[in-house]
Amino acid sequence: MKKPIYLMLSFFLLVFVGCTENVTKENVEESELEESTPVVVGDLPEVLHINGFTLGQVFEDVMDTFGQPLKSDQLDNSHSLTYADDGVGIRINLAEQSKKVIKLYVYPPYMETINLPKTKNDILAAYGQPNEGIVTNTCGNNERCDGWVYEVNGEQLIVQFDSEGVHVQYLILEKIN
């Protein structure tokens, strides 16, 4: 009777030791990777912006900041600007009367040639830690994705990351109602 129990305990011990050994190796590799790429954490800017572009600027300023798109589509007070063949890189909403930008959507995966924050480390360097928290959303294939929220002077910047939490999917700059 004791022999089967010892065998079973030995089996569980071997399985447990084998699993923890792999996890430890993975953790060492991750920590070595983290040490090799230092993270610079910037300060929260006094005015929220994306590459220097702020709300209240006009449509032409978008072109000055991000360059000429391959294609531009307009529907009422909304513009979609395409910078790559595979998707829209920028969407903007303009105020009806003043024609100033009141909401800016930027999609870095579709703007490879433009110098934008494309990773979590880039976001940390540009904006620091999120001052209004972290939200979790559902993204492609029902996966969970974190988004960081920054608020300054009545404006909000939302940064959505991919399911791995590494690459920026989009940034939204808008007024808070």
What does the pLDDT read at residue 128? 94
What does the block give as tokens for 140?
């492609």
Q: Cα 3 vs. chain centroid, distance in angstroms?
A: 56
Profile the chain (177 residues) by mean pLDDT over runs of 10 residues.
47 38 36 53 89 95 93 93 91 94 96 91 95 90 93 96 95 93
CA angle 143, 145, 149 (to 5 degrees): 160
What does the pLDDT read at residue 1? 52
Nearest-angstrom CA–CA distance, 128 and 131: 8
Amino acid in position 88: V
Quote the pTM value.
0.76
Amino acid in position 23: V
Nearest-angstrom CA–CA distance, 102 and 151: 15
What is the β-pairing status of strands 143-152 and 155-161? antiparallel
What does the pLDDT read at residue 21? 37
What does the pLDDT read at residue 38? 66
What does the pLDDT read at residue 117? 95
